[in-house]
Structure 1
Amino acid sequence: MCMLGTIVSIVGNTITIKLSIDMTNQVNLVGIHVIFEDANDTKIVGEIVDVDQTSAKVSIVGEVLPTGFLPGFSAKPSFRAKPRLIKSDELELIFGKQQITDHSQIYFGLSTVYRNYRINVNTNQFFSNHFAILGNTGSGKSFTVSRLLQNIFSNPKNAPESANIFIFDAYGEYINAFQNINQINPNIYYKNYSTNVASPESEILKIPLWLLGTDDIAQLLGVTTSSQLPIIDKALKLVPILKSNDEKTLKQKNEIIARALMDILMSGKDSTKIRDQITAVLTNFNTKDLNLQSLIIQPGYNRTLQQLLYVDKTGKMQEMSLVVDFVSKFTTEESELKTPDGTIPFTLKDLENAMDFSLISEGVLKSDKVFDYANILSVRLHTLVNGDAAQYFDYPRMISREDYIKSLVTTSLGKKAQIVNFNINYVDDRMAKALTKIISKMLFDFACEYKDRGGIPFHIIIEEAHRYVQKDADEEILGYNIFDRITKEGRKYGVLLGLITQRPSELSETSISQCSNFIILRTLHPKDLEYIRNMVPSVSSAIMESLKTLQPGNCIAFGSAFKVPTAMHIERPNPEPLSNSANIQNIWYQPGTFYQSATTTYQKPADLAALQASLTTNVKERG
């Protein structure tokens, strides 16, 4: 037992000790834990924060009770308490037992204060809560995520086979870290989804369009106002009707088309515009009963609807009343449109057709104001239909939501995958954000409705979270932000977020405020440091200063899984993710392979004099 000296002052949470040991023979004591032991067996725990040749300042961090370690500083030692260095069995009460014998603990890293001392955290206290890993670029965030997951699956005889970990990989870094994880345990599998439609490195991500709701389509189309939502909602309701051909749906089609036509006929616009708009509608949307060639039978002669739309030289449609009479007979009863239940598959093209019809039936043709905010939906959807991103929604077969989620965690060999990586490196930020939100919402909705609440946990890890988990317009437009909802409600359903970011100040405050654990690597930006100071509990000024100088791979951890702020080193993952910086000093001095390959297909032009001589010769020969 190493006695340190005597207490000379207690000010607030700081205790000053007059040292009785020779400091010239000691290692650096800053960060070491001290026990203040009273005669009544009270044990107050403190951490040395400052030391000189004769004294040490110690900050109280908790108390050792018969039931374990209690963090905080509600109790303080008396002046007669004897300060001593902490013992190994007491240290285990703070940092976890050194030998992991069951599922209750997971190895995290090595203490930077106690040499080769393992930091083992309680599994539930970390993974039953949302967490955040923060740090500047190059500080080791991707390495930390990779190593943590590798630690979880490192036991070849006992790995969590029922885990469901989804990673949204902003840069395609993690495939290298996990693709061979099956070699550790034959029952552990990794699955990668690619967004690289030109040259996919694995299975291309595909989402069944019919499983998406109004809010999901709104994310895809970048909706900017809540007034656009009814158009999307109606389009989704129209899709199954426009795709079907039975008698019941035929009547619905006739009724819907007729009401759109009646809106045009009663719009008060000039006859030419009415004719053109009706022609446009019936060219794209028609039935065997209601189309441009429908016959209107009159005594003595029959004419088609198209003929009745004739506008004479005076600009009048003489047969307007006949057109109105013919169309109005299809509007006898208004059909109730039902929300799709995910049982009728459809394509983006089907949705585009329904969207165009929804725009018409919502009165777009009657109002320029409505047209302005509504037509942009049609334009964006058309762009999506004809772009590479359409492949993400070209699902090859009918599937239910439950079976689709099962397919996400099923490998091509039919095995259960524990880690699923979505490589979203090949899409722009808007599409990446939409895909991340859509899949996260689908997992959350499924978990909320699952009969065994929390029985299928989903861990969603989002790289570059500041690009996707933001305080955006979702709250105003949709009434909620899916990530805010998950962080507030997901814990009880087993849906947990891991937010990985270099710019915590750009994250949604609601989402990060619900995180229970924080792993903070080197952070330099003043705005981010101030944000961390305000958001993270138990963070002192000394700790904040230390964040600026942390070496890559070193971090300070806070939260429910860490009984005190814990400085540790995260070991390098093996294998590593593809997140290292470019090796400039090597690349600069290698042969220029890119330039050489480029110049093999590129011939330098002749100099001007040679070119002129060649042209002169050719002219003379032709002459």
Structure 2
Amino acid sequence: MSHDDRKRAIGKVVSVAADRFVVEMHVGNDNFTVVGFDDVHYVARLGSFLMIPSQSEYVVVEVVGLRERDASTPSERGDFDRAGSSKYLDVVPVGMLPMRGGAFRFGVSVFPSLYADALYALDGELDRIFETEAAVEPSVGPDGGACQPEGATRYRVLPIGKSVVFEDYDVKVRLNEFFGGHVAVLGNTGSGKSCTVASVLQSLFCKPKEHHARGATFIVFDVNGEYHAALSASAKEGAIGVERVVLDGTAAGFRLPHWFLELAEWELLLQASERTQVPILRMALGLSTLFSNAGAAELNSVRNHILAKCITQIMRDDSSSPSKHDRIIGILQRFSTNEINAAKIRPYIEAVAECPLPMV
């Protein structure tokens, strides 16, 4: 163990089991605090990490419990002398971290020995555990060539706040995973959820050194009108372009692609009833996907098939209200193709329909 590791030792491992260790803190660490060579560390937060050296790696453990003394040992001190009593941390193994660089891996292959030192975790070690050690990286141009301007950088991870478990540690997110999946910002009313989202977007687009998130596009449903003011300042500086569309019934040209939402999200947005509207919605989305992926010839063939199927079903229907005549006219007025229209199918329909079709 290096000299720096000895300086950040907080206690010794006094119990080792397959799923749990016990760490007895050194005498003098009152209130579970440790004065390290870099800062004062409070090591009793549930969920915090400790490092236990084992050969050439650290065993990373998570604090899951703390107590004043070993429960099996009766106290020999009075209630007024509890500050000087032994303090214990219950920890569970999480994974292994190489001492001299390398990737963190889950699972423990080598268990620590009795009386091994337990160390508080450094910020650099936390970055390696969470795989956020490289906040920025050199930017590259098209096809891996030189970028413009020269020496520009881009974000790999983005700080989004301070940890409440690890003292003064910046919580960082990997951009690809953060924006490639579902993310929720939870909190009470007025706790700063909208400010958090706006801050993330501002950090992306207002990066001090190029490149900011050039080419990225976000659609923000600003129900309460909170984000326009937050992002308009960046738009004035020329960093981003902000286009605002107010959906008050008068805006034209706003279209939401059918693939933008999943079926469950469409059901929630449209408040579709489960038995009557959801099946129709599911069919409509399926047809929209089919039409959007088909070529011109294939698309025309699919339209002819659907139109012919609808007319055939009307002709086979035994009901008379509304009449087959009116129903077929209604379909042909709204939907027609070069192959199926009122002029071409008139002789066939007049032979079956109740009365001749009028000119359309």
TM-score between the two structures when normalised by the length of structure 2: 0.55
**C-alpha distance in 2 between matches for 1:193 and 1:262:** 46
**C-alpha distance in 1 between matches for 2:257 and 2:97:** 56
| Percent identity of paired positions between Structure 1 and Structure 2 | 21
SS of 1:131's partner is coil
Q: Which residue number in structure 2 is paired with residue 3 of structure 1?
A: 9
CA drift of 1:119 comes to 2.6
Structure 1 residues 68 and 182: alpha-carbon distance in aligned structure 2, compared to 1, 3 A threshold: same
Deviates more, 1:67-76 or 1:221-230: 221-230
- CA-to-aligned-CA distance 1:446-489 (integer Å, 9 cap, x gap): xxxxxxxxxxxxxxxxxxxxxxxxxxxxxxxxxxxxxxxxxxxx
- CA-to-aligned-CA distance 1:580-614 (integer Å, 9 cap, x gap): xxxxxxxxxxxxxxxxxxxxxxxxxxxxxxxxxxx
Work out whether residues 258 and 328 of structure 1, in 8 Å CA contact, stay in contact via their aligned partners in 2: no
**C-alpha distance in 2 between matches for 1:140 and 1:208:** 28
Q: Which residue number in structure 2 is paired with residue 179 of structure 1?
A: 232
SS of 2:196's partner is helix
Task: Indicate which of 241, 244, 255 corresponds to 1:189.
Answer: 241
SS of 2:201's partner is helix
CA drift of 1:153 comes to 2.0
The letter for the 1-side match of 2:91 is: V
Work out whether residues 195 and 205 of structure 1, in 8 Å CA contact, stay in contact via their aligned partners in 2: no
CA drift of 1:155 comes to 0.7
Structure 1 residues 17 and 135: alpha-carbon distance in aligned structure 2, compared to 1, 3 A threshold: same
Q: Which residue number in structure 2 is paired with residue 41 of structure 1?
A: 56
**C-alpha distance in 1 between matches for 2:179 and 2:18:** 34
CA drift of 1:22 comes to 0.8
1:574-593 alignment runs, 5 A limit: none
**C-alpha distance in 1 between matches for 2:58 and 2:159:** 27
Structure 1 residues 331 and 210: alpha-carbon distance in aligned structure 2, compared to 1, 3 A threshold: farther
Q: Which residue number in structure 2 is paired with residue 28 of structure 1?
A: 42
Q: Which residue number in structure 1 is paired with residue 195 of structure 2?
A: 143
The yes-or-no answer on 1:158 pairing with 2:211 is: yes
Work out whether residues 13 and 24 of structure 2, in 8 Å CA contact, stay in contact via their aligned partners in 1: yes
The yes-or-no answer on 1:17 pairing with 2:23 is: yes
CA drift of 1:161 comes to 0.8
Structure 1, unaligned runs of 5 or more? 235-254, 288-326, 335-359, 361-623
**C-alpha distance in 2 between matches for 1:112 and 1:171:** 29
Task: Indicate which of 347, 354, 357 corresponds to 1:329.
Answer: 347
Structure 1 residues 164 and 4: alpha-carbon distance in aligned structure 2, compared to 1, 3 A threshold: same
Work out whether residues 61 and 95 of structure 2, in 8 Å CA contact, stay in contact via their aligned partners in 1: yes
The yes-or-no answer on 1:112 pairing with 2:164 is: yes
The letter for the 2-side match of 1:164 is: T
Work out whether residues 108 and 148 of structure 1, in 8 Å CA contact, stay in contact via their aligned partners in 2: yes
The letter for the 2-side match of 1:36 is: I
Question: Which structure exhibits the higher relative contact order, with contacts defined as CA atoms closer than 8 Å and separated by 6 or more residues?
Answer: 1
Work out whether residues 257 and 286 of structure 1, in 8 Å CA contact, stay in contact via their aligned partners in 2: no
1:19-418 alignment runs, 5 A limit: 19-24=25-30, 26=33, 28-31=42-45, 32-38=48-54, 40-51=55-66, 52=68, 53-54=85-86, 55-65=88-98, 66-73=101-108, 75-95=110-130, 96-97=132-133, 100-101=136-137, 102-156=154-208, 157-183=210-236, 186-197=238-249, 206-207=254-255, 222=272, 224=277, 226=279, 267=318, 277=323, 329-331=347-349
Structure 1 residues 176 and 5: alpha-carbon distance in aligned structure 2, compared to 1, 3 A threshold: same
Work out whether residues 194 and 204 of structure 1, in 8 Å CA contact, stay in contact via their aligned partners in 2: no
CA drift of 1:152 comes to 1.8
Two-structure CA RMSD over aligned residues (Å): 4.8
Work out whether residues 15 and 58 of structure 1, in 8 Å CA contact, stay in contact via their aligned partners in 2: yes
Work out whether residues 97 and 103 of structure 2, in 8 Å CA contact, stay in contact via their aligned partners in 1: yes
CA drift of 1:106 comes to 1.5
Q: Which residue number in structure 1 is paired with residue 295 of structure 2?
A: none
**C-alpha distance in 1 between matches for 2:240 and 2:246:** 20
SS of 2:21's partner is strand
Work out whether residues 107 and 120 of structure 1, in 8 Å CA contact, stay in contact via their aligned partners in 2: yes
Higher helix share: 1
**C-alpha distance in 2 between matches for 1:171 and 1:162:** 26
Work out whether residues 14 and 115 of structure 2, in 8 Å CA contact, stay in contact via their aligned partners in 1: no
SS of 1:4's partner is strand
**C-alpha distance in 2 between matches for 1:46 and 1:16:** 10
**C-alpha distance in 2 between matches for 1:209 and 1:98:** 36
Q: Work out the number of aligned pairs and report it.
A: 261
**C-alpha distance in 1 between matches for 2:332 and 2:90:** 84
The letter for the 2-side match of 1:177 is: A
Work out whether residues 30 and 49 of structure 1, in 8 Å CA contact, stay in contact via their aligned partners in 2: no
SS of 2:240's partner is coil
TM-score between the two structures when normalised by the length of structure 1: 0.34
The letter for the 2-side match of 1:59 is: V
**C-alpha distance in 2 between matches for 1:220 and 1:34:** 50
CA drift of 1:104 comes to 1.9
The letter for the 2-side match of 1:8 is: V
**C-alpha distance in 2 between matches for 1:257 and 1:148:** 51
Work out whether residues 259 and 331 of structure 1, in 8 Å CA contact, stay in contact via their aligned partners in 2: no
CA drift of 1:63 comes to 1.6
Structure 1 residues 58 and 130: alpha-carbon distance in aligned structure 2, compared to 1, 3 A threshold: same
CA drift of 1:183 comes to 4.1
CA drift of 1:285 comes to 8.3
Work out whether residues 196 and 204 of structure 1, in 8 Å CA contact, stay in contact via their aligned partners in 2: no
The letter for the 2-side match of 1:86 is: A
SS of 1:145's partner is helix
Work out whether residues 13 and 73 of structure 1, in 8 Å CA contact, stay in contact via their aligned partners in 2: no
**C-alpha distance in 1 between matches for 2:90 and 2:277:** 56
CA drift of 1:220 comes to 6.4
**C-alpha distance in 2 between matches for 1:46 and 1:143:** 34
Work out whether residues 98 and 118 of structure 1, in 8 Å CA contact, stay in contact via their aligned partners in 2: no
SS of 1:120's partner is strand
Structure 1 residues 43 and 163: alpha-carbon distance in aligned structure 2, compared to 1, 3 A threshold: same
